[in-house]
Structure 1
Amino acid sequence: MKKLFLFLMLLVFSVNMKAQQKQVDQDSTKVEKLDEVLVKAVRVNATSPITHSNVTKAQLEKRNLGQDIPVLLNYLPSVVTTSDAGAGIGYTGIRVRGVSGESTNITINGIPYNDAESLGTFWVNLQDFSSSVESLQVQRGVGTSTNGSGAFGASINILTDAISNEAFVSVSNSYGSFNTLRHNIKFSTGLLNEKVEFSGRLSKIESDGYIDRASSDLKSYFLQGAYKDNNRLIKAIAFGGEEITYQAWYGVDVFTIDSNRTYNIAGIITDDEGNNTGFYDNQVDDYRQDHYQLHWNERFDNQLSLNVGLNYTNGRGFYEEYVDNYFYTNVYWADDSKFSFLGLEPITVDGNTVESMDYVRRKWLDNNFYVANASLNFKDDKLDVITGGSFSLYEGDHFGEIIWAQYAVDISKDYRYYFGQSKKRDASGFSKATYKVNDKLSLYGDLQYRYVEYKTNGTGSNRTLFEINKKYNFINPKIGASINLDSNNNIYGSYARANREPSRTDFENSADVKPEQLNDFELGYRYKSKKIKFNANAYFMYYNDQLVLTGAIDNVGAPIRANAGKSYRAGVELETFIAVGNKLTIQSNLTLSRNRNLNKGQFIEDEPLGETDIAYSPNVVTSTALNYTPIKGMQLALVNKYVGKQLMNNIGNKDSRLKAYNTLDFNLAYEFKPKAIFKSILVNGIVNNITNVKYNANGFDYGGGYYVYYPQATTNFLAGVTLKF
């Protein structure tokens, strides 16, 4: 496979070096368009019949103080974010329209980023990545055809830093609550000979977290070499880093949350009577991930362009945990501390047979991910067509090691108490077109075919045989229309279908799990003038066999999902932007929705279940921001976020509930340009939750009245300075 990958890279170079150059304008806007072509195949434009939000580099910079990307997107329509550590650094998550991270497609420069097996996105592995983002687009609903796992309610596609025409060096430092520190340095050579640029970033983030011991130690890099001429853009990009985070994924249980909301049970050590004697120092997740991308965009003339992207990702790491015999046997009700579970024979100590013990284990994941994308774009005054495809191969090893034991057990140095391998192939092809019938009407069509093959062998982390051999063929059609009523008013409508395979965890929890299907209907209106922007969108998302969160998590902290049969999400999304004079703007969004499992033919204790709310799907989500610019370069923002109540199960049990919450943040950003030494100085800061609300953004329902919650930080702050030379 590696030889094939290298061959593809050489083929791209050889084919494109022979392409005839055509003259086009050389102004800076053309350079910008060449960068944007890297994500054109997975993005939509302003008048497309796809519901979306765009976020620019400048918007991210105002709030970027080291928190993860989901936290920076918290104020977009229909978005709810969570943080295991409570302060937005470490393990974070995002839900859009109630759709979990496992069902949200993520791409970086058009390359799939979702983990091939879990289908989720581990944002903790994109340490300080927002500092290298040029722009991103969030598509709600199925959206347009994308690469990788199906967008099953939302997609986020990210474009990394564009070419900088001018050389610079910037140094950024920030400090905040919970001993949070962020340092980074960025540089660019600018365009050398108007053709070549080298740029990069090094970052380090540390935080103790709001939850006890929920520390994060994050290191990352981003390096880019770019070549551009009149009609060609080549980018070689390498990025990655290492995260070491103390585990906080167990949450705080219902019996403790009111008395000690920062309590963290991870790493607990007890004596023989179950008394807590301390916590294991190295109960951490330690993972490194490196990405290597090559992108080639060739513009043959003003109508035809080709884009090719290649990617190799290597990930390796483990999470380490102390297995306490008393805790696992009497509280966690698991057999993990038994010799039989580890594949070992009982031992005799002082004449007594010992069948279980305390020990420290590491659960490893070592994987390789290869991707090849290509798309051809033809565009004239009437027609804009993109045809492309994507192929990816994932190979992963899962295994467990014992690195310390309470007793001197007879195991070899390389002993693995479980070992499994997995391989996943994902191939897709699509063609999408926008046809401009006249100055007012545009028609949109999109058809994608996707083939998925997933195989595993060996044992899972629970030491049971785990062998999967599944193949899926998915056809995903999309149609839509957009009408410009006049220069200010636009209406649109669309229908899209998406199919999505189960994740590894879904298979581990049920051998009979089915793929899920979504039919998405969108109808919207847009108004835009100099002072006012208004968007209104109504959606109806009808699911077959939707995989919804049950509320429980497995023994590695992964959410457990199950097929829910027929279900739907219906809602209205409203967005408003109003400029009040030259200094004050008001931005607001509101989502009102109804999210229901139909549960036809499903029973509890022989009683029909009836319709129930879908878990983690609040009926109301709203955000309002007041932005004030008192002087040039300074912006003050007061931002409110309200999330309605959410159930943590799908059987309608209202005791299993996350209460509604309302938070208020204050953000300051002031950039000025001194006459000497510095090109610019940016001072920014944020005070989160200034009303000191105690709220839980996430939780799980284990059944029997046992719930756990993920408390978010009370009032906290971050402040930073960026110096640009």
Structure 2
Amino acid sequence: MKKMKNWLLTGLFFMIVSTVFSQGKVTGKITDGTGGLPGANVVIKGSTTGTSTDFDGKFTLTTPSNTGEIVISFLGYDNQTVKFTVSNAGTTDLGTITLVASNSNELSEVVVTSSIIDVAKDRKTPVAVSTIKAAEIQAKLGSQEFPEILKSTPSVYASKAGGGYGDSRIAIRGFDQKNIAVMINGVPINDMENSSVYWSNWAGISDVTSAMQVQRGLGASKLAISSVGGTINIVTKTSDMKEGGSVSSSFGNNNYLKTQASYNTGVMKNGLSASVLFSRTAGDGYVNATEFEGYNYFIALGYKASDKHNFQFTFTGAPQWHDQRSQSPLLSDFLKYGSNGTDPNIKYNADWGMRNGEQYNLKTNYYHKPVMSLNWDYDINSTTKLSTVGYASWGRGGGTNTNGGIRGNNAYSTNNSLRTADGLVNFDLIQNWNSGQPTTLGTRVPVNGRYENSADTGRSSTGVINNTAGISQIASVNSHNWYGAVINLDKKFSENFTFDFGVEGRMYQGIHFQNLIDLLGADVYKNTADVNNNPGYFSTTYAPRPNGNPFVSTDYQDRINYWNDSKVNYYGAFTQLEYTTGNFTAFLQGAISQQAYQRIDHFKYTYDSPLAKTGFKTITGGDIKAGANYNINEHHNVFVNGGIYSKQPFFNAVYPNNASIVNPNLTNEKIKAVEVGYGFRSGIFNANLNAYYTTWDDRFTTATDQAPTNPSGYYTFQGVNEIHKGLELDVTAKPIDKLKLNGMISIGDWKYSGNATSSRFDVANNPISGDQPLYLDGVKVGNNAQTTMAIGAAYEILNGLNVDANLNYSEKLFGNIDVSKFSAANNKGAMELPGFATTDAGVSYKWNISPKIGALNFRLNVNNVFDKIFINESFTNIFTSDYKTAPTTANPAGVTYAQAGEVYNGVATANRVYFGYGRTWNFSLRYDF
């Protein structure tokens, strides 16, 4: 037995020695042709053995085999495979390996370890897709809003809306962002009540984005999500980035200033890794009185327990406040407060004024929405992988506005006695009135020796109210608690078949109420909306600023005017089967979900009322999608996809009119889509051509009933259907090494299909009139440009010095329509706004000081270089041929806006619009180490 043990130990010793001496090393340097590429991934093909290049682009990789291939990847460059041969315990130097910049939409260079993240792959996934990579976001975004980086993408329309920090919006294929799924690392972030995305809550996401992919149409996501128009997939940085960091600063027009610092430890020997980032952004805003301040923090912790287990914990948030322009001014007011009555003041903001000699805004948005997630990726074996993510979000904040009034006028009214000669809110007059001081409107009457504000407008059917009528600044608070998880099992049955199955769950509670921000000189606020405490009197005010504590409760705040909670629970299951063989790929995907809605009202109903807390209303939805891609050869590929989606309604469709009574006409929205595409790839030219056809039926739309006899009633509109169809072409080219070209054109035809009906209800959801026809058939869908074009170029002048420019053109942009205005068969349809073109340009320079010291990066961006003035949104639909003065007996012909000369660039000046920004600029300096 002892002799056998000796033989075993000797054999084991020789095995270890043999293994050690059979290992060799492969070295080399990765460049882009001008300098080393730090952080490039180098992996032995067919294994998990890999490393990253150092700051100078150099790498050393230990290999257990004498021959093989390494695969080199770096974001923004085509992957490259290099063969190697190494002797036992020897070292092979592969020399300098130059990567070629990628012209494709492929996102394969981004390391995605989780099967929850549905990334479309070029010439494989059969969807229309565009990819924006980290380098482009970092260079070109500058001081723009995050969605604006996509404006050169086919069928995308990005608008700054009112122009406040984070108030921008985006549409894809004519569908607004409520019908666009936004995913961060595979987790949906659309609001669970109305599917909105508020970009101010994600203002810092660009700082931590590795890449962003836009999948137009129903997309490649396995989840049953709101991807009617498309899916925006955002892949953020992780903790296992290569060791290093950066410090940067950027400044621009209107006192814009952003500072940022970040550091990554890289994966340490014990498997732990960490990444942190912090930034601050502030400025005065381009639009008058839109000051802002925002912060962004990102913490990522990783642990690679073994080759099978990888954990990633992230915690990120962006507390911010910003003054807004939330009410679109009349086009006539832009002209009135501009130059000579013909040059509009595009920065005009009707929501602010001076108070005691200082700037004061009616509208301030403040919010803090931290998100925490824990990802666990488990490689069970070579064919099976389990990916799990659990996440939570605690949103805290709201937006200010005013209520009440003075002798029938509110603070938002234009051309009234509460405004100064330059069109601003006369806060000094409001304060004097509220506090009982003599004003040009008279003197207020106190109640029991104090001045009470309330929701009274100052005028009723019996006359003027002077005692409880004043103007207060209040906040509409919309906080939430949100918890969710996604689990996906990825199983490869064979070389051809891959099967995914997963489950998803989300629990959401929205907390909605109003509180006092400023009494504007009054003593107390009288609240009569709470039937359980009527009247209630309040004088405590709250600053409209985000709380730095992400877990702070809102229970300490007083409530006025309304207080209700919304609960939405979502449970779903999904599956996907993918078949791949040679040049052919196909998939079949299906998902089913149940969404349950509950409404709790603390004000409108007495505590013992059954309507104070409803039961859950459960609605089932789901989708089925299929597609196939065929690579004809190395240059050509074609694809087709289609799907049907039964989409559950939003919360306000289940409980309309802010009441606890279920909508009697409740139905799911139905989306059907089909798409075909063609792709061409070559060494110098790439192109994608797509055609799509989407129908969207049974949209739910409401409008408040303004009739004096039914002020709490509402209208619903049934049978509101739309058809969206179009063509998209995008191209990239690299005719010479230093020149890159890009272009795109998208032509859409988005319109309403068929006529709809209108129904009128009282506050108890009882019908009070029969169905009325609405003549919508053929009316164009408004508020998004149906034709967009872009052309751009980037050129390397010298080593490290680059210039680029991009021209964007938009037309077939129609005014937003109110469907209730289409009761006549001979309506004029939707008003078309004039088309416009803008040019953006930039210059960048990278100075590699030395491998030990680091590199400096300089970037200058100029947006709308030629200071083009253009209207990018209209919230009304008034034609120049509409009557300004209706026909009368004295003047049977009437007077149109065109006849009255009240027209600007072909648009009637009675419309409420937003102008886009004029010329803006920013300069940034970043130090990488």
Same fold (TM over 0.5): yes
* Amino acid in structure 2 at the alignment position of 1:240: G
The 8 Å contact of residues 780 and 814 in structure 2, kept in 1 or not, is answered as: yes
Return the alpha-carbon distance in structure 2 between the equivalents of residues 253 and 38 of structure 1.
49
1:303 to 376, 379, 383: 383
TM-score by length of 2: 0.68
Change in CA separation of 1:382 and 1:352 when aligned onto 2, cut-off 3 Å: closer
Q: Which residue of 2 aligns with 1:722?
A: 926
Return the alpha-carbon distance in structure 2 between the equivalents of residues 328 and 514 of structure 1.
40
Secondary structure, in 3 states, of the residue corresponding to 2:347?
Answer: coil
Q: Which residue of 1 aligns with 2:320?
A: 243
Residue ranges of structure 2 left out of the alignment (5+ in a row):
1-45, 53-70, 74-107, 339-344, 415-433, 435-450, 527-536, 541-557, 706-714, 759-770, 883-907
Which structure exhibits the higher relative contact order, with contacts defined as CA atoms closer than 8 Å and separated by 6 or more residues?
1
Q: How much does 1:113 deviate?
A: 0.8
Q: Which residue of 2 aligns with 1:356?
A: 469
Structure 1 residues 585-609: Cα deviation after superposition (integer angstroms, max 9, x where no partner): 2111111111111233559997844
Residues 1:158 and 2:313 are matched in the alignment: no
Change in CA separation of 1:505 and 1:653 when aligned onto 2, cut-off 3 Å: farther
Identity %: 19
Return the alpha-carbon distance in structure 1 between the equivalents of residues 684 and 717 of structure 2.
47
Change in CA separation of 1:352 and 1:384 when aligned onto 2, cut-off 3 Å: closer
Residues 1:485 and 2:632 are matched in the alignment: yes
Structure 1 residues 491-526: Cα deviation after superposition (integer angstroms, max 9, x where no partner): 011111223233345554595564322101000001
Secondary structure, in 3 states, of the residue corresponding to 2:504?
Answer: strand
1:537 to 690, 694, 704: 690
Change in CA separation of 1:487 and 1:592 when aligned onto 2, cut-off 3 Å: same
Structure 1 residues 205-230: Cα deviation after superposition (integer angstroms, max 9, x where no partner): 11222211112211110010012242
Return the alpha-carbon distance in structure 2 between the equivalents of residues 692 and 288 of structure 1.
34
Return the alpha-carbon distance in structure 2 between the equivalents of residues 30 and 342 of structure 1.
66
Secondary structure, in 3 states, of the residue corresponding to 2:849?
Answer: coil
The 8 Å contact of residues 224 and 238 in structure 1, kept in 2 or not, is answered as: yes
Secondary structure, in 3 states, of the residue corresponding to 2:797?
Answer: coil
Return the alpha-carbon distance in structure 2 between the equivalents of residues 200 and 42 of structure 1.
25
Residues 1:426 and 2:570 are matched in the alignment: yes
Report 1:215-234 matches (<5 A).
Answer: 215-228=291-304, 229-234=306-311
Secondary structure, in 3 states, of the residue corresponding to 1:428?
Answer: strand
Secondary structure, in 3 states, of the residue corresponding to 2:138?
Answer: helix
Structure 1 stretch displaced more, 351-360 or 625-634:
351-360
Return the alpha-carbon distance in structure 1 between the equivalents of residues 72 and 721 of structure 2.
48
Change in CA separation of 1:702 and 1:642 when aligned onto 2, cut-off 3 Å: closer
2:505 to 391, 412, 416: 391
Change in CA separation of 1:232 and 1:679 when aligned onto 2, cut-off 3 Å: farther
* Amino acid in structure 2 at the alignment position of 1:639: N
Change in CA separation of 1:665 and 1:136 when aligned onto 2, cut-off 3 Å: same
Q: Which residue of 2 aligns with 1:680?
A: 855
Return the alpha-carbon distance in structure 2 between the equivalents of residues 551 and 592 of structure 1.
35
Structure 1 stretch displaced more, 580-589 or 405-414:
405-414
The 8 Å contact of residues 172 and 720 in structure 1, kept in 2 or not, is answered as: yes
Q: Which residue of 2 aligns with 1:416?
A: 560
Structure 1 stretch displaced more, 655-664 or 151-160:
655-664
Structure 1 stretch displaced more, 564-573 or 158-167:
158-167
Structure 1 residues 667-724: Cα deviation after superposition (integer angstroms, max 9, x where no partner): 2222231126632211112100011111122231287985322222111111101101
Change in CA separation of 1:187 and 1:487 when aligned onto 2, cut-off 3 Å: same
Tell me the matched-pair count.
Answer: 683
Q: Which residue of 2 aligns with 1:439?
A: 582
Secondary structure, in 3 states, of the residue corresponding to 2:649?
Answer: coil
Structure 1 stretch displaced more, 281-290 or 662-671:
281-290
The 8 Å contact of residues 615 and 646 in structure 1, kept in 2 or not, is answered as: yes
Return the alpha-carbon distance in structure 2 between the equivalents of residues 111 and 81 of structure 1.
23
Change in CA separation of 1:609 and 1:120 when aligned onto 2, cut-off 3 Å: closer
* Amino acid in structure 2 at the alignment position of 1:98: G
The 8 Å contact of residues 583 and 629 in structure 1, kept in 2 or not, is answered as: yes
Change in CA separation of 1:155 and 1:27 when aligned onto 2, cut-off 3 Å: same
2:154 to 63, 77, 87: 77
Q: Which residue of 2 aligns with 1:252?
A: 329
The 8 Å contact of residues 396 and 422 in structure 1, kept in 2 or not, is answered as: yes
Q: How much does 1:422 deviate?
A: 0.7
Return the alpha-carbon distance in structure 2 between the equivalents of residues 683 and 325 of structure 1.
52
Residues 1:671 and 2:846 are matched in the alignment: yes
Change in CA separation of 1:692 and 1:547 when aligned onto 2, cut-off 3 Å: farther
Return the alpha-carbon distance in structure 2 between the equivalents of residues 277 and 329 of structure 1.
23
Q: How much does 1:40 deviate?
A: 4.8
Q: Which residue of 1 aligns with 2:645?
A: 498
The 8 Å contact of residues 830 and 877 in structure 2, kept in 1 or not, is answered as: no
Return the alpha-carbon distance in structure 2 between the equivalents of residues 108 and 255 of structure 1.
42
Structure 1 residues 349-404: Cα deviation after superposition (integer angstroms, max 9, x where no partner): xx985141121212212211001111011234212222112100001211111244
The 8 Å contact of residues 111 and 147 in structure 1, kept in 2 or not, is answered as: no
The 8 Å contact of residues 551 and 702 in structure 1, kept in 2 or not, is answered as: no
Return the alpha-carbon distance in structure 2 between the equivalents of residues 645 and 278 of structure 1.
42
Report 1:258-277 matches (<5 A).
Answer: 258=335, 259=338, 260-267=345-352
The 8 Å contact of residues 83 and 712 in structure 1, kept in 2 or not, is answered as: yes
Q: Which residue of 1 aligns with 2:553?
A: none
Report 1:144-183 matches (<5 A).
Answer: 144-147=220-223, 149-183=225-259
Residues 1:370 and 2:483 are matched in the alignment: yes
Structure 1 stretch displaced more, 277-286 or 68-77:
277-286
Structure 1 residues 409-431: Cα deviation after superposition (integer angstroms, max 9, x where no partner): 36145353311011001112111
The 8 Å contact of residues 343 and 417 in structure 1, kept in 2 or not, is answered as: no
Structure 1 or 2: more strand by fraction: 1
Change in CA separation of 1:314 and 1:525 when aligned onto 2, cut-off 3 Å: same
The 8 Å contact of residues 512 and 565 in structure 2, kept in 1 or not, is answered as: yes
1:54 to 131, 140, 144: 131
Change in CA separation of 1:642 and 1:564 when aligned onto 2, cut-off 3 Å: farther
Return the alpha-carbon distance in structure 2 between the equivalents of residues 504 and 282 of structure 1.
28
Residue ranges of structure 1 left out of the alignment (5+ in a row):
1-21, 271-275, 553-559
Secondary structure, in 3 states, of the residue corresponding to 1:72?
Answer: helix
Change in CA separation of 1:166 and 1:344 when aligned onto 2, cut-off 3 Å: same
The 8 Å contact of residues 718 and 757 in structure 2, kept in 1 or not, is answered as: no
Q: How much does 1:166 deviate?
A: 3.1
Structure 1 stretch displaced more, 51-60 or 310-319:
51-60
Q: How much does 1:475 deviate?
A: 2.6
Report 1:129-208 matches (<5 A).
Answer: 129-147=205-223, 149-193=225-269, 195-208=271-284
The 8 Å contact of residues 85 and 209 in structure 1, kept in 2 or not, is answered as: no
Return the alpha-carbon distance in structure 1 between the equivalents of residues 739 and 612 of structure 2.
59
Q: How much does 1:584 deviate?
A: 1.1
* Amino acid in structure 1 at the alignment position of 2:579: Y
Structure 1 residues 554-604: Cα deviation after superposition (integer angstroms, max 9, x where no partner): xxxxxx996663321110100111111111121111111111112335599
Q: How much does 1:72 deviate?
A: 1.5
Q: How much does 1:460 deviate?
A: 8.9
Residues 1:693 and 2:846 are matched in the alignment: no
The 8 Å contact of residues 251 and 709 in structure 1, kept in 2 or not, is answered as: yes
2:735 to 576, 580, 585: 580
Change in CA separation of 1:699 and 1:108 when aligned onto 2, cut-off 3 Å: same
* Amino acid in structure 2 at the alignment position of 1:317: G
TM-score by length of 1: 0.86
Structure 1 stretch displaced more, 160-169 or 94-103:
160-169
The 8 Å contact of residues 685 and 719 in structure 1, kept in 2 or not, is answered as: yes
Secondary structure, in 3 states, of the residue corresponding to 2:148?
Answer: helix
Structure 1 residues 158-183: Cα deviation after superposition (integer angstroms, max 9, x where no partner): 11103445321211100111211111
Q: How much does 1:664 deviate?
A: 0.6
Q: Which residue of 2 aligns with 1:98?
A: 174
Report 1:268-287 matches (<5 A).
Answer: 280-281=360-361, 283-287=363-367
